[in-house]
Amino acid sequence: MKAIVLFGSPGSGKGTQAKMLTQCLGIPHVSTGDMLRERIRHVAERGNGITPEKAARMAAKMHSGALVSDQVVNQMVEERLSDPDATDGFVLDGYPRTLAQAEHLDHWLDGRGTREVVIHLAVDYNIIIARLTGRRQCTRCGTLYNMASQPPREDTLCDKDGTALVIRDDDSEPVIRQRLEAYERQTRPVLEYYASVNRRVVMVDGSNDPPEAVFRKICQALETDDCQEDGRGTGEDAP
């Protein structure tokens, strides 16, 4: 089982890299942000075991840039990772985001005799703010664009299917700052946890390179990981 955790602040490019990894490795992209948004959208029609009040509370947290409770997210991820398409592995995007989530994931992986490889996408904060404020997403296929660095061919339409692009509710500057604050306070300490349990964390600088170049660096790191499993290679890890 290949368990890959894409770790990094909002806007560090986790979603873009996760989609590329998924295509390349044939394992599913598990984005907790996407799953939560999907749950909220479908709560009225399917129920999903979530009351409309609970869905409204979750949506309010997400719109304010705060994190949803560990219990909700851990259960959601556990169910998703138990789906048949995740038997050979998965790419986690946006999870774990707290110490409790990291411990929960480790416990789940322990039960399957495996360990995650953590890819830490490190990006300068000013670049992150510029990226998030320029971000647009296709509501149909999920393709991400950036009006500054990766604009669509036509200003507001997806290149792939012509669907209108939208700005996410939580991509306004005050909410972005809130999300970055939540990252600093609740998520960054997860790196210390990984260091304390000697987990392999590969740092990839994603500040200036185009997504394809960042992806190549990630692939190199994962190949190194395979080599290490085979006892053939050395790594170039950074804490």
Residue 60 CB neighbours (<10 A): 10
Are 9 and 97 within 8 A, CB to CB? no
62 binds ligand AMP, rule: CB under 6 A: yes
33 binds ligand AMP (CB under 6 A): yes
Instruction: Count how many residues are written for the chain.
Output: 239
Quick note: the x/- pattern for ligand AMP over 1-20, rule CB under 6 A, is: ---------x----------
Q: Residue for token digits 């970055």?
A: 180
Catalytic residue among 39, 131, 135, 217: 135
What's the CA gap between 44 and 39, in Å, rounded? 9
Distance CA 136, CA 157 (A): 10
Q: Given the complex with ligand AMP, which of 1 and 35 has the nearer CB atom?
A: 35
Which residues, 87 to 106, sit near ligand AMP by CB under 6 A? Answer: 94-95, 97, 101
Q: Which of 37, 115, 168, 200 is catalytic?
A: 168
Q: How far is the CB of 62 from ligand AMP (least distance, A)?
A: 4
Looking at beta carbons only, is 184 or 236 nearer to ligand AMP? Answer: 184
Rounded-to-integer distance, Cα 41 and Cα 125, Å? 31
| Annotated catalytic residue within 39, 131, 136, 179 | 179
Query: How far is it, in rounded angstroms, from Cα 182 to Cα 176?
Result: 10
Using the contact rule CB under 6 A, the part of the chain among 64-72, 138-146, 206-214, 221-229 near ligand AMP is 64-72
Q: Single out the residue of 75, 127, 141, 129 nearest to residue 105, CA to CA.
A: 75
Q: Which of 14, 19, 80, 136 is catalytic?
A: 14
Instruction: For the CB of residue 123, give the shortest distance to ligand AMP in the complex, in Å.
Output: 14
How many residues lie near ligand AMP (CB under 6 A)?
17
Among 61, 115, 199, 200, binds ligand AMP (CB under 6 A): 61
Place of tokens 């560090």: 12
By CB under 6 A, residue 135 contacts ligand AMP: no
Query: 85: helix, coil or strand?
Result: helix
CA angle 196, 191, 215 (to 5 degrees): 130
User: Among all residues, whose Cβ is closest to ligand AMP?
Assistant: 33
Pairing of strands 116-122, 89-93: unpaired
The catalytic residues are 14, 97, 135, 168, 179
Could you list the residues that contact ligand AMP (CB under 6 A)?
10, 32-33, 36, 61-62, 65-68, 73, 94-95, 97, 101, 170, 179
